[in-house]
Amino acid sequence: MNFTHLFPLAGLLTAACAFLLWRGIWKPPQVSSQTLIILLSLAMLINLYALFRLEPIADWGLDFRLAAAVSVCVLIVHYIYFIGLLRHGVQGLGLILLPATAIPLLSIPLLPDNPILHVEVTSMLEASHLLISLLAYAILSLATIHAVMLLLLDRALKRKRIGPIVQAMPSLFEVETHMYAQVGSATWILGLGILTGLVWQWEVFGQFHLLSHKVILGSISWMALIVLLAMRRRTGWQSKRASWMVIAAYLLLLLSYFGVRLVQSSLT
């Protein structure tokens, strides 16, 4: 049985959560956090079960397909949002986060199943590098969603267009605070991911492949995040400039692995 078709089911449940949030804006009352928690829990369980059926853990190590990588990243983002719902009843973030995570789940069956897109891991060090990198990517994805929300809120406030969508979102201060917290976490985790990757290169090849696309793009993304945090502490950058820098760092990190792998797959 092809269990990749379970991912769209998780995507539909995620899309249903997004639909209820958006409907609550135009036709009050808003959906209860308990309803969102139930639907999102089902989506996470189905996603986790489908991931398990892909058998990413083999006797000899890890066999990660592109579908598994997407599934893990979505699970991490969903889990962070799920914790926010449980503890604080935060819903506004889901207006962008839920549609943004439903689309990858719905598209998993369409992803190419090419050997180039498989990552076979046979050592604990390489497995740690892979999982740490996926965690950094997932957290930076969440920070990017906050960056997009900051741009939308900043534009609406400057134009004095405070519609129901803007009112449903968290405040500008809350979104900015969460974004910088996630950028800080992503910076540390991405730095650890780059370090473990270099140590693995030395262990396997006896040298550092510093000019590989993953090292170059990942390092530029990491340095951009460091510069952003440094400028935040010294001068306090404006939300708009910081948001674009987070988005740029995210795109670089996306290209460092997924983008290059997809290009290689299309050329073979």
Residue type, 24: G
pTM of the predicted structure, to 2 decimals: 0.85
Of 98, 122, 146, which residue is a domain's last? 122
Residue-level pLDDT at 267: 47
- What average pLDDT does the segment 223-239 reach? 83
**Same domain for 168 and 118:** no
**Same domain for 188 and 148:** yes
**Same domain for 169 and 90:** no
Residue-level pLDDT at 18: 95
**Same domain for 160 and 70:** no
Instruction: Report residue 121: phi and psi, to 5°.
Output: -115, 125
Alpha helices of 54-123 — where are they, by DSSP H?
66-88, 94-107
Cα gap 131→221, rounded to integer Å: 18
Least confident segment among 22-31, 146-155, 251-260:
251-260
Cα gap 76→201, rounded to integer Å: 27
18 to each of 43, 160, 221, how far by Cα in Å? 12, 26, 30
| C-alpha radius of gyration, the chain, whole number | 19
Cα gap 66→201, rounded to integer Å: 22
Using pLDDT thresholds of 50, 70 and 90, give the confidence band for residue 3. Answer: confident
In contact, 250 and 143? CB cutoff 8 Å? yes
**Same domain for 88 and 57:** yes
Other beta carbons within 10 Å of 38:
13
Residue-level pLDDT at 14: 97
In contact, 136 and 77? CB cutoff 8 Å? no
Domain count, the chain: 2
**Same domain for 214 and 160:** yes
pLDDT tens digits along 153-206: 888 888 877 777 777 788 888 888 889 999 999 999 999 999 998 888 888 777
pLDDT tens digits along 41-80: 999 999 999 999 887 766 656 677 788 888 999 999 999 9
Q: Which domain holds residue 104?
A: 1-122
DSSP letter for 25, please: H
**Same domain for 145 and 106:** no
Among the listed residues 106, 99, 36, the one whose alpha carbon sits nearest the alpha carbon of residue 67: 106
Residue-level pLDDT at 260: 57
Cα gap 37→31, rounded to integer Å: 11
Q: Does the pLDDT at position 112 exceed 90?
A: no
Of 61, 93, 122, which residue is a domain's last? 122
User: What region, left, alpha or beta, does residue 57 occupy, with left being phi > 0 and alpha being psi -120 to 50 degrees?
Assistant: beta
Of 80, 97, 122, which residue is a domain's last? 122
